[in-house]
């Protein structure tokens, strides 16, 4: 009996260790089916943190509406396959699927085929990210490593380090510079 309890306890710990945070699927927020899928060939080695440069959202319905608007802009105006980012993080502390773990996104020219982009909904040049946003983004990254979507040796960068933009905004950039695997010198990943 005791050995069964120990075995169950170990199994629960293993499940919890690799559990991902809840992710609102493309279907749940009304996303398009991508018309041309390009898949990653294996774990990627770069995580790019961005912001959407939009107002923040704190309610699920508002976040979903904003994400549909972003996807409409990406598809109808920029002629992307679908929404460009891999994941979006709402002010409500929820993660929303964009291109997801498997599909190559369209977010940072020269880096798309080897990176995952996590975009915080809002403008963090002026606003502060919520504690819930920070927590869910870090859980998402941990999930990516544990499930082999991300290399355990991934490098984390701010969008502004790769292209001419203020994204992810100075307030969010200040925070991510303290995160695990942040890369201040890009020489090891430059194209």
Q: What's 127's domain CATH number?
A: 3.40.80.10
On whether residue 27 sits in a domain, the answer given is: no
Greater model confidence, 173 or 15: 173
On whether residue 159 sits in a domain, the answer given is: yes
On whether residue 138 sits in a domain, the answer given is: yes
pLDDT of residue 35: 65
Q: Are 118 and 89 in contact (CB under 8 A)?
A: yes
pLDDT of residue 94: 98
On whether residue 9 sits in a domain, the answer given is: no
Q: Is 157 helix (H, G, I), strand (E, B) or coil?
A: strand
Q: Which domain holds residue 111?
A: 43-185
The total domain count for the chain is: 1
On whether residue 171 sits in a domain, the answer given is: yes
Long-range CB contacts (< 8 A, 24+ apart) of 41-44?
43/148, 43/149, 43/150, 43/151, 43/154, 44/114, 44/115, 44/116, 44/149, 44/150, 44/151, 44/154
Residue 4's CB is within 10 A of a number of other CB atoms, namely 8
Banded pLDDT at 188 (limits 50, 70, 90): confident
CA–CA separation, 179 vs 150, rounded Å? 16
What distance lies between CA 102 and its chain's CA centroid? 12
Q: Report the chain's mean pLDDT, rounded to a whole number.
A: 91
* 128 HSE (CA, 13 A, CB side): 3
Q: Show Cβ contacts of residue 139 under 8 Å, excluding neighbours closer than 6 positions.
A: 20, 21
Cβ density class 105-136: b for 16+ within 10 Å, e for less: bbbbeebbebbbbbbbbbbbeebebbeebbeb
pLDDT (tens digit per residue) in 37-94: 799 999 999 999 999 999 999 999 999 999 999 999 999 999 998 999 999 999 999 9
On whether residue 102 sits in a domain, the answer given is: yes
Q: Is 183 helix (H, G, I), strand (E, B) or coil?
A: coil
Residue 181 has pLDDT above 60, yes or no: yes
């Amino acid at each position: 009996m005791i050995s069964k309890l120990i075995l169950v306890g170990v199994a629960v710990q293993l499940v919890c260790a690799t559990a991902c945070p809840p992710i609102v699927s493309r279907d749940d927020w009304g996303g398009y089916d991508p018309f041309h899928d390009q898949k990653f060939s294996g774990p990627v080695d770069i995580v790019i943190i961005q912001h959407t440069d939009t107002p923040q959202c704190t309610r699920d319905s508002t976040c979903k509406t904003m994400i549909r608007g972003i996807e409409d802009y990406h598809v109808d105006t920029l002629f992307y396959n679908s929404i460009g980012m891999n994941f979006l993080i709402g002010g409500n502390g929820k993660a929303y699927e964009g291109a997801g773990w498997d599909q190559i996104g369209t977010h940072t020219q020269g880096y798309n085929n080897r990176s995952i982009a996590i975009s915080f909904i809002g403008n963090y040049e002026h606003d502060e990210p919520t504690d819930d946003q920070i927590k869910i983004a870090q859980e998402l990254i941990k999930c990516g490593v544990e499930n082999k979507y991300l290399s355990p040796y991934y490098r984390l960068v701010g969008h502004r380090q790769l292209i001419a933009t203020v994204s992810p905004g100075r307030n969010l950039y200040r925070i991510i510079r303290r995160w695990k695997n942040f890369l201040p010198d890009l020489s090891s990943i430059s194209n």
